[in-house]
Structure formats: structure tokens, C-alpha cells
Amino acid sequence: MSELTSMINETLSVIRKKTNKEYPIGIILGTGLGGLVKEIEIEHQFDYAELPHFPLSTVESHQGKLIFGKINGKDVVAMQGRFHYYEGYTMKQITYPVRVMKKLGVNTLLVS
């Protein structure tokens, strides 16, 4: 098993303690669409700091939460806050949450 796979599995083990659902839709909310969270019927949420290997958001207006719930009856997982290369993160760190989302069942990803 690769190091990255092990890291993803550690993150998933924390998430799976709260939910075993599949989430076919992923949303990465930037500054402009952070308010979309108000439309999500939140079932579970995690601060990024609670999730092993998750980067922490450095942008003040990004809340730094991974949110699980429904929008119009559709299961979604949303990142409230994202990461940028210019903040000093590596591409591995920037793409890590998307890799976790894929393991949660995401096959459609919306990015703002």
C-alpha cells in the first residue's frame, strides 16, 4: 500500500465513524460561493483540523470545514475553504481532499 493510500485511509477512518454513506456530488466552495453552505441540510461536519493529513485553510474567509448533507435531496460533500499553491501548499496537499472525496463516492465535482 502506498503512503498516499495509507494517509487517505486514515482520513476516511475518522469520517466513517460518523457516516458510511456514499456522496456522489462534491463541491469545493471558494470565497464567492461560501454562502452555498446555507442551502445544505447538514448531517455531519468536520473542521479540517479534525481530519488527519488535511491541509488547513489560511484564507480568513474560508471556514475550513468538510460538510456532509443534502441539497434538494441529493447527497453532497462540500469543502468550505480551499487551498492554493501560492499559499505554499504542494500539489499533493492541494489535491488531497479531492482524492478523499473520490473514495467517498464523488463522481461529480463542482469547483468555485
> What are the residue boundaries of the structural domains of the chain, listed by start?
3-111
For residue 50, the model assigns a pLDDT of: 97
- What is the predicted pLDDT for the residue at 78? 97
Answer whether CATH 3.40.50.1580 is correct for domain 3-111: yes
Backbone conformation region of residue 8, classed left if phi is above 0, alpha if psi is from -120 to 50, else beta: alpha
What percent of the chain is predicted at pLDDT more than 70?
Answer: 95
Confidence of residue 17 (pLDDT cuts 50, 70, 90): very high
Question: Grid coordinates in use for 57?
Answer: 485553510
Residues 71-106: tens digit of each pLDDT: 999 999 999 988 888 888 999 999 999 999 999 999
Q: Is the dihedral of CA 76, 18, 41, 112 positive or negative?
A: negative
pLDDT, position 16: 98
- What's the pTM? 0.91
**Residue for grid cell 453532497:** 76
Residue type, 80: Q
